[in-house]
A = this chain, B = another copy of it.
Amino acid sequence: MTGEMNDCRAAKASMNFIAEHIKKVASKLDINSVSDLVDNIMGAKKIFLMGAGRSGLAARAFAMRLMHMGFQVHVVGETTAPAVQPEDLVIAVSGSGETTSITNLGAIAKKIGSKLATITSNRDSSLGIISDVVVIIPGRPGEELDHNDYQERRMIGYPQLAPLGTVFEISALVFLDSVISELMVRTGASETELKMQHAVFE
């Protein structure tokens, strides 16, 4: 019994499940919206990333890469993030598209006149409908989110234990890293581009 428990079958099953999901997300990716996102990143004066909880960690991981590539990029809420201006791009990461704090900031971004891009599972969400660019990253089918405020969920202790709940955040992270590949190709970061091509096909 314990032996059965100690073969870590759940761990392996979980990793393979996530890998399969990432492939599904890649195959369903809407090229136009991804292309719009890349164009907006390349055309922005400054880029701001925002997200709550684990989505916020995915947003930060992307911000770090954009900084490596030489973009002027900031994470909303970090110490030295300056004011958002009309020529800037604000990118929100939110599975439900309903996280209250992020939705509020998205609305402010639109009021300022900056571009707003959202990475979400939910096109018809509060964030989705006000965004200039929406990239859909499917969560698992049938997913129902009944608590739309991230900080409220944190305070209430809503049990979001299922690793399957991670599908959005990890998929979003992998997608955002793939946007870096795309940016490298488009900006002609040649040596690194070659390295990337090499690795993809090795």
Contacts and interface: CB of A to CB of B under 8 A. Distances in A.
A8 B29 CA distance: 9
Interface string A72-102: 0111111111111100000000000000110
A26 interface: yes
Interface residues of A, number: 95
Contacts of A66: 80
Contact of A16 (B16, B23, B104, B156): B23
Copies in the complex: 4
Contact of A10 (B10, B151, B164, B184): B184
A23 B158 CA distance: 31
Contacts of A196: 10, 14, 162-164
Nearest to A179: B11
B13 A23 contact: no
A73 B81 contact: no
Contact of A15 (B16, B20, B23, B101): B23
B7 A31 contact: yes
Nearest to A187: B161
A125 interface: no
Nearest to A156: B83
Contacts of A35: 6, 8
A130 interface: no
Contact of A109 (B57, B77, B155): B155
Interface of A: 5-8, 10-20, 22-23, 25-27, 29, 31, 34-35, 38, 53-54, 57, 60-61, 63-69, 73-85, 100-101, 104-105, 108-109, 112, 140-141, 149, 151-152, 154-164, 166, 169-170, 173-175, 177-182, 184-186, 189, 192, 195-196, 199-200, 202
